Amino acid sequence: ATEGVAQSVAQKPADDRIDRVFHGLRLPIAIKGRPVERWTIAERMAEHRVPGVSVAIIDGGRVVWAGGFGLKEAGTADPVTTSTLFQAQSISKPVASSATLSLVEGGRLSLDEDVNTYLKSWKVPENQFQLQEKVTLRRIMSHTAGLTVGGFGGYKAGDAIPSLFQILNGEKPANNPPIRVDTVPGSISRYSGGGAMVMQQLLLDLTGVSFPSLMKRLVFEPVGMMLSTYDQPLPVARRKEAASGHDGEGKVVHGKWPIEPELAAGGLWTTPTDLAKWAVEISNAWNGRPSKLLSKKTVREMLTVQKPPFGLGLIVEGADQAFSFRHLGSIWGYRALLVMYPAIGKGAAIMANADRADPLITEVLMSIAAEFQWPSRTPVERDTVTLTRNVLDGLVGRYSLPPGPSGAPVYYEVSREGGQLFAELKGLGSYPKTEIYPATADEFFTTTGLSVVFSRDSSGRAVKVMMGQIQGVRSP
């Protein structure tokens, strides 16, 4: 049942290539001197406990293939197809930004005006951080406005759902603190979902049109994103189209999915095909080709880095042929990724209905990148060093990490088996024990691309570990 249904939107020339993509999933890092393992998508979905995945591939500046794998909901026979809806979460932000930019292009908004000029029914509260510098749309879209509230946790079925005012002011039943300026606008890059909510209020005050209707008019209808909606909660009539979210164990989440009243920040229900169509229009404009969305001038500004890594609404990186834009989406039950190389017309959108889908999405992406000859995101080969058992034993132990969402303890368990070191994340659901490979005596890595760096005391015993950006401290 895991393979499910794969629907092709374009037959030749993609068939053999698509077959190789979904039978050639591999990890981002290969160990020098060892054979490279490859898997089918069904094998990796089972390994990562992901019931359903949907993929759209862009090549030659158009969507050349789209397909679904597995199930909308574990334990049913309902297959994922190209029209199955998933939560895009933070990919909602760049899509919303493209609507704002179309109003800028039409002369109704300025990127560099104080947003309080446009806000009528609610305004960003003034304070000492805004004496010289103001919150602007440019700063909101590039996450440099100094606004608080990084992200939103969503609401469960049956919860009281806050209004936009309650979200902005952090008033019950909103589960977020107030959205405020706590640093000088323009001074730093710091991801802010709160900024997207200020933008949502501004669009409402400016146009008097509800956010879902405005997005339909400015983005979905011109681009042909016929399945996409910002309606939250998802209307009853459309619920049968949606994939249910699943936790780390592969069980359906409460109420089947989160409710996301923070529409501009994370409220988009969509498909990889619709996201890919949007990316193609952005790419067309960037290249000076006719675009149903924005002009070349606007998109060139959108894809110019303000403060790394953000342009206006999108993460922008690379140069020349490797120049790309991307965004990720993540909330309990769902993961999503959109990436596009506008100079060469290549890209992909991948959406999945499970908490442990991140590594699977990376593996699918690696396989697409290799088969369709992308200039980056292709697998890397790394060398390892040989360490004595004494050196390895100094790293063995339990390291405490910040607590999980429920407040339960989370830790990283490091163990040695022969001459190999293994690590296991415990307390956040079921994560497999993973081998960590030594690049040096203190710097290790996983084949999924995670960096694991230990800090030792004078006796050679590790006291701390950095896993990516997260620090663990040795438990006594």
- The confidence band for 260, taking pLDDT boundaries of 50, 70 and 90, is very high
- The confidence band for 402, taking pLDDT boundaries of 50, 70 and 90, is confident
The pair of three-digit structure tokens given for residue 240, joined into one six-digit string: 């049968």
Distance CA 209, CA 198 (A): 15
Do the beta carbons of residue 178 and residue 187 sit within 8 Å?
Answer: no
Which is more confidently placed, 120 or 7? 120
Task: Answer yes or no: is pLDDT of 8 > 60.
Answer: no
Q: What are the tens digits of pLDDT across the range 421-431?
A: 999 988 876 67
pLDDT for residue 4: 41
Can you spell out the DSSP letters for 370-407? HHTT-SSS--EEE------HHHHHTT-EEEEE---TTS
Name which CATH class applies to 86-380.
alpha beta
Q: What are the tens digits of pLDDT across the range 199-220?
A: 999 999 999 999 999 999 999 9
Backbone Cα Rg of the chain: 23
Q: How far is CA 124 from CA 103, 121, 134, 175, in A?
A: 21, 11, 10, 19
pLDDT for residue 10: 42
Q: What are the tens digits of pLDDT across the range 180-203?
A: 999 999 999 999 999 999 999 999
Task: Answer yes or no: is pLDDT of 114 > 60.
Answer: yes
Q: Give mean pLDDT, residues 450-459.
A: 94
pLDDT for residue 1: 38
Do the beta carbons of residue 283 and residue 340 sit within 8 Å?
Answer: yes
Weakest mean pLDDT among 98-112, 173-187, 292-306, 458-472: 458-472
* Alpha-carbon torsion (208, 212, 217, 218), positive or negative: positive
pLDDT for residue 428: 75
- The confidence band for 405, taking pLDDT boundaries of 50, 70 and 90, is low
Q: How far is CA 241 from CA 73, 175, 433, 441, in A?
A: 11, 28, 36, 51
pLDDT for residue 22: 97
Distance CA 142, CA 337 (A): 18
Task: Answer yes or no: is pLDDT of 176 > 90.
Answer: yes
pLDDT for residue 414: 96
Distance CA 269, CA 326 (A): 18
Q: Give mean pLDDT, residues 15-31.
A: 94
Task: Answer yes or no: is pLDDT of 455 > 70.
Answer: yes
Task: Answer yes or no: is pLDDT of 153 > 60.
Answer: yes
86-380 and 389-474 share one fold: no
Task: Answer yes or no: is pLDDT of 11 > 70.
Answer: no
Do the beta carbons of residue 84 and residue 351 sit within 8 Å?
Answer: no
Quote the mean pLDDT of the chain. 94
Which is more confidently placed, 236 or 407? 236
| CATH topology (fold) of 389-474 | Lipocalin (2.40.128)
Query: In this prediction, what percent of the chain has a pLDDT beyond 90?
Result: 89
Task: Answer yes or no: is pLDDT of 3 > 60.
Answer: no
Distance CA 192, CA 150 (A): 4
Weakest mean pLDDT among 73-82, 127-136, 394-403: 394-403
Q: Give mean pLDDT, residues 60-70.
A: 97
pLDDT for residue 468: 84
- Ranges of each domain in the chain: 86-380, 389-474
Distance CA 18, CA 43 (A): 16
Distance CA 174, CA 367 (A): 41
pLDDT for residue 423: 94
Q: What are the tens digits of pLDDT across the range 349-373?
A: 999 999 999 999 999 999 999 999 9
Task: Answer yes or no: is pLDDT of 261 > 90.
Answer: yes
Let me know if 415 is exposed, middle or buried by CB neighbors in 10 A (0-12, 13-18, 19+). Answer: middle
Distance CA 37, CA 59 (A): 26
Let me know if 60 is exposed, middle or buried by CB neighbors in 10 A (0-12, 13-18, 19+). Answer: exposed
Q: What are the tens digits of pLDDT across the range 281-335?
A: 999 999 999 999 999 999 999 999 999 999 999 999 999 999 999 999 999 999 9
